[in-house]
């Protein structure tokens, strides 16, 4: 009698997928070093940075659908996502290995799936490759000043001091969350803008203001680490204020500062785009009430999947509005 072949269950496949993407609730026991390296880079976190590049290209008002511009954009996405975000994520995992041993022991470093020398080598390869590519993009864009390279250097420094002692910005809930929010919004947006147009102070200020909404996104990521953060004395906002209060801070930061961006769009006579942005806030508030405010520890991932698409769509609406206004 032939045996029925054993196939992986849906749950097993889902856990493997979460592992490869670097998500919460991953499986353990991966043996392929390249899959482990990819897991360390947390591909799921590349998406908002890649999207930020698109928003920056839109806000420049100079992007056109040519083969060269598409290739420039894809190269810039490679810089912001796999290289610089990958560098940031691995650096954070390296300095958080003790916390991860409590919160996420299946992660590659605390589980021993990859050695510390291999981790350090990957950090340096990603950083050097990112800076070289940033300089190449400046040359390709014809920038007289190496704007993209400068952004990459500043982003690399912020990523390092966010995770590494003695500063370790993530020890401070407000500073750490804002640094993370700026990494997701200001840096890729300004990079995409500088690739096709001239980066000026209005765009920098606007994206830094928008990063206050990004601060709310960053707070969401702290809920999965409450136990380890509390044990090791890291003052994340959920640790400082409790999960319920921190959840309210999170959603209010996202909604209020998006509304502030809508007011700005009205001030530059982009009323239609302001109205679209405000309409996108409505489903966010709905999902905030349905999931996050009711149980932030249980529903953090579900909330991110349901509500954040409307936030990132709002970013693109803002970028198009700024490009249309010709700022």
Q: Residue 222: what pLDDT?
A: 81
Query: CA-CA distance, 133 to 126, in Å (whole number)?
Result: 10
Query: CA-CA distance, 139 to 55, in Å (whole number)?
Result: 21
**pLDDT category of residue 8 using cuts at 50, 70 and 90:** low
Query: CA-CA distance, 243 to 23, in Å (whole number)?
Result: 21
Between 16 and 98, residue with greater pLDDT: 98
Between 224 and 6, residue with greater pLDDT: 224
CB 227 within 8 A of CB 103: yes
User: How large is the average pLDDT for residues 280-289?
Assistant: 94
Domains in the chain, CATH or no CATH each? 32-325 (1.10.600)
Q: DSSP 3-state helix, strand, coil percentages of the chain (rounded to 5)? A: 80, 0, 20
Q: Is the pLDDT of residue 2 over 50?
A: no
**pLDDT category of residue 300 using cuts at 50, 70 and 90:** confident
Q: Which of 23-27, 237-241, 269-273 has the lowest mean pLDDT?
A: 23-27
Query: CA-CA distance, 256 to 259, in Å (whole number)?
Result: 5
**pLDDT category of residue 210 using cuts at 50, 70 and 90:** very high
Full-model pTM = 0.87
User: Model confidence over 92-139: pLDDT tens digits?
Assistant: 999 999 888 887 888 899 989 999 999 999 999 999 999 999 999 999
User: Model confidence over 27-58: pLDDT tens digits?
Assistant: 555 678 989 999 999 998 898 899 999 999 99
Alpha helices by DSSP H, 41-115: 46-60, 67-78, 86-95, 97-103, 108-111
Q: Residue 1: what pLDDT?
A: 44
CB atoms within 10 A of CB 2: 4
User: How large is the average pLDDT for residues 189-200?
Assistant: 96
Q: Residue 276: what pLDDT?
A: 97
């Amino acid at each position: 009698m032939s045996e029925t072949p054993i196939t992986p269950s849906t749950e097993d496949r889902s856990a493997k997928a979460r592992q490869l993407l670097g998500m919460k609730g991953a499986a353990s026991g991966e043996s392929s070093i390249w899959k482990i390296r990819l897991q360390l880079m947390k591909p799921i976190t590349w998406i908002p940075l890649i999207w930020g590049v698109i928003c920056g290209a839109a806000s420049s008002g100079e992007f056109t659908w040519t083969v060269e511009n598409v290739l420039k954009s894809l190269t810039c996405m490679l810089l912001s996502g796999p290289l610089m975000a990958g560098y940031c994520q691995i650096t954070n995992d390296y300095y958080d290995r003790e916390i991860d041993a409590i919160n996420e022991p299946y992660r590659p470093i605390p589980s021993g799936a990859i050695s510390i020398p291999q981790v350090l080598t990957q950090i340096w390869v990603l950083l050097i490759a990112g800076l070289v590519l940033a300089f190449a993009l400046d040359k390709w864009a014809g920038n007289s000043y190496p704007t993209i390279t400068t952004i990459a250097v500043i982003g690399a420094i912020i990523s390092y001091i966010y995770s590494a002692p003695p500063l370790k910005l993530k020890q401070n809930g407000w500073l750490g969350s804002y640094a993370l929010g700026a990494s997701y919004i200001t840096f890729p947006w300004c990079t995409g803008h500088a690739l096709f147009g001239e980066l000026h102070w209005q765009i920098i200020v606007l994206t830094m203001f928008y990063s206050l909404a990004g601060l709310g996104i960053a707070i969401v990521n702290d809920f999965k680490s409450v136990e380890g953060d509390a044990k090791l004395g890291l003052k994340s906002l959920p640790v400082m204020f409790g999960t319920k209060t921190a959840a309210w801070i999170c959603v209010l930061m996202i909604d209020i500062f998006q509304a502030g961006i809508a007011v700005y769009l009205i001030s530059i006579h982009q009323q239609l785009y302001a109205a679209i942005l405000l309409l996108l806030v409505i489903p966010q508030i709905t999902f905030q009430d349905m999931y996050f405010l009711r149980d932030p520890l249980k529903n953090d991932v579900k909330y991110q999947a349901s509500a954040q698409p409307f936030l990132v769509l709002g970013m693109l609406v803002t970028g198009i509005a700024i490009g249309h206004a010709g700022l």
